[in-house]
Chains A and B, each alone.
Chain A
């Protein structure tokens, strides 16, 4: 089946630093999604990308949909302590339904004050 590979697996950064993480797949995805999971919570959608080459921002977050539709990256600028959590990329694999998502294994972000 389709798999998403995220890197790095974990990151330890200082507050104020910029962060970059990416996600690759051997298969084409028509939609790329980035979710964040805080401890004890369910994942929350950060950014959704629908077109190859699309660059989308949400506050300090910026994500791009790779032109080959097989990769995506997420950047976080000027990190703050509340950015701590697990970041997942995901893509729909249930046909026309978005209820079935395949998730990457996640990038664990730790921010030191």
Chain B
């Protein structure tokens, strides 16, 4: 059973640019969550999607957005990149809200460096 797949694994952008990160959940999983991981702030929740609807949103500025497609794949976008957006962006999937009993399956992440 394939795990959560995130692309790209590594990318370098410059300030002011935008970036789109992609996540393919485990087959059959319909819920996708995104997290930002930095040395200073740790793991912070960005969004959660289920059935193409955003269920929860973290405390991030509007430059951070996401969406989920009908096949449960998800993308997140960061516009007008800032140096502080450099981080590991992790995607996690689960069967459906309330059914996973806390088990999120994480991908390996997309490491974004903003210069």
Contact = CB atoms under 8 A, between A and B. Distances in A.
Interface of A: 1, 31, 33, 40-45, 48, 50, 88, 90, 92-106
Contact of A48 (B42, B102, B109): B102
A107 B33 CA distance: 23
B107 interface: yes
Contacts of B109: 42
Interface residues of B, number: 28
A94 B58 CA distance: 10
Contacts of A100: 33, 45, 48, 55-56, 58
A23 B102 CA distance: 17
Given A98-B100, A99-B97, A101-B104, A43 B56 contact: no
* Contact residues of A: prevailing secondary structure: strand
Contacts of B32: 99
B34 to A, nearest CB: 9
Contacts of B33: 99-101
A45 B98 contact: no
Given A45-B102, A99-B97, 8 more contacts: A42-B106, A92-B102, A97-B97, A98-B97, A99-B33, A99-B100, A100-B48, A103-B42
A96 B102 CA distance: 11
Contacts of B108: 40-42
10 contacts: A44-B106, A90-B43, A95-B56, A98-B103, A99-B33, A99-B50, A99-B56, A100-B58, A101-B33, A101-B102
B102 A33 contact: yes
A56 B41 CA distance: 29
B45 A98 contact: no
Interface string B4-45: 100000000000000000000000000111000000001111
B92 A42 contact: yes
A31 B104 CA distance: 14
B81 interface: no
Which residue among A40, A41, A42, A92 has the maximum number of chain B CB atoms within 10 Å of its CB?
A42
